Amino acid sequence: MEILTGNNILAGLDSYFKDNGYDNLYIITDHNVKYYHGKYLSSLLKGYNYKFYSIPPGEKSKSIDVVLSIYDDLIENQIDRESLIIAFGGGVVGDITGFVAATFKRGIDYIQIPTTLLAQVDSSIGGKVGIDYKGLKNIIGSFHFPKLILIDIQLLKTLSNRDITSGLAEILKYGLIADYDLFNYISSNLSKAYNKDEHFLLDLVNKSISIKQDIVSRDKFDKGERRILNFGHTVGHSIESYFDFSQYNHGEAVILGMIYESYIGKEVGLIDDDYFWEIYNSLTKLITPLKFNDLEIKYLLEIMENDKKKLNDQTILILPIGKGKVGIFNDVDVDLIINSLKGEWF
């Protein structure tokens, strides 16, 4: 698996197809990405056989119905194992495309061209592919590693501020789990991210990929250490799901999750007050935390309980244990989670 990062490197895509003998291309994208960047991609594909399949934007598209409609179209277009499938979009397009490529004809080569910051630093890396089902996120899926991940910063120019925040969330997470300097570097340069400073974004992308690759290489199939990548996600997922995936995007919910989970870390005595408030002050520049009431907390805990089944019947929380370090815990007192979510402490 090859990863290429840079600014304006999409232009060189053609030579990759030539070198690897692909001339039948099937591009899966969403309507927004097609609108902003479809023409440019088409202009690079002159002389190839290619077809676009565009899905409605958003998490709701990560469904079995959309997968079935893509299978129908693949059959209709006689896509075979000599063809190449291309994911051209954010994490939704990447996850669904990877899943289709993993399953159609028992696996077809695919490449990722991620177009959101979140997809460039996180979802396109690591081989996890899948879809949601019955309201359960990523419940059906597999591991299928793309042949190439081509990351072009230029594609981020059309991204909304909320989607920049979403990507920053995962990068701030890498900082808190593995590189505290990176965390500080982002917090003190937020405007560069929102202004889409190319050098800054490319630097963040390269640093993020190297952290994620490092963790994934030690635990390719998510049996142990890879779980530290879920920092902020136990609570974050429950918030995302409680609001029916509409109020907060993934990264925004993860930022909230990191705030509440860090507070738990402080209460357990894993980190000191000063470090906690450093984290709090940096993360609240991006999202304002909420004070949840008793009923809301009951639902949030139920959602976490459901997640628990997935994880060998234990509620797993990733908590900070020092600057740029986290640990995996399965014995956290539920009252600590409740107090954290009540938010009487801020």
Ligand X SMILES: NC(=O)c1ccc[n+]([C@@H]2O[C@H](COP(=O)([O-])OP(=O)(O)OC[C@H]3O[C@@H](n4cnc5c(N)ncnc54)[C@H](O)[C@@H]3O)[C@@H](O)[C@H]2O)c1
**By CB under 6 A, is residue 145 in contact with ligand X?**
no
**Closest separation between CB of residue 237 and ligand X, Å?**
9
**Closest separation between CB of residue 272 and ligand X, Å?**
30
Biggest CA-to-CA distance, the chain: 63
**Distance between CA 67 and CA 197 in Å, rounded?**
36
> Which x/- pattern, by CB under 6 A, does the window 164-203 give for ligand X?
--x-------------------------------------
Give me the count of residues in the chain: 346
**Closest separation between CB of residue 313 and ligand X, Å?**
23
**By CB under 6 A, is residue 118 in contact with ligand X?**
yes
Q: Map tokens 């290489």 to a residue.
A: 217
Which H or E element spans position 114?
Answer: strand 110-114
**Distance between CA 112 and CA 320 in Å, rounded?**
32
CA dihedral of 316, 319, 321, 325, whole degrees rounded to 10: 100
> Which x/- pattern, by CB under 6 A, does the window 7-46 give for ligand X?
-----------------------x-xx--x----------
Spell out the residues 6+ positions from residue 232 whose beta carbon is closer than 8 angstroms to its own: 169, 173, 254, 255, 256, 257, 258, 261, 318
- Whichever of 118 and 297 has its CB closer to ligand X, that residue is 118
- Whichever of 226 and 266 has its CB closer to ligand X, that residue is 226
CB atoms within 10 A of CB 299: 13
Answer yes or no: are the C-beta atoms of 84 and 110 closer than 8 Å: yes
End-to-end CA gap in the chain: 45
Q: How many residues bind to ligand X according to rule CB under 6 A?
A: 29
**By CB under 6 A, is residue 146 in contact with ligand X?**
no
**Closest separation between CB of residue 131 and ligand X, Å?**
9
Answer yes or no: are the C-beta atoms of 81 and 108 closer than 8 Å: yes
> Which x/- pattern, by CB under 6 A, does the window 217-256 give for ligand X?
---------------------------------x------
In the set 10, 108, 151, 155, which binds ligand X (CB under 6 A)?
155
Answer yes or no: are the C-beta atoms of 5 and 212 closer than 8 Å: no
Span 52-91, contacts to ligand X by CB under 6 A: 57-59, 62, 89-91
**Closest separation between CB of residue 328 and ligand X, Å?**
18
**Closest separation between CB of residue 10 and ligand X, Å?**
11
Q: Which residues pair with 270 in a beta bridge?
A: none
**Distance between CA 173 and CA 233 in Å, rounded?**
10
- Whichever of 124 and 340 has its CB closer to ligand X, that residue is 124
**By CB under 6 A, is residue 128 in contact with ligand X?**
yes
Q: Which residues pair with 128 in a beta bridge?
A: 143
Residues that bind ligand X (CB under 6 A): 30, 32-33, 36, 57-59, 62, 89-93, 95, 115-116, 118-119, 122-123, 126, 128, 138, 155, 158-159, 163, 166, 250
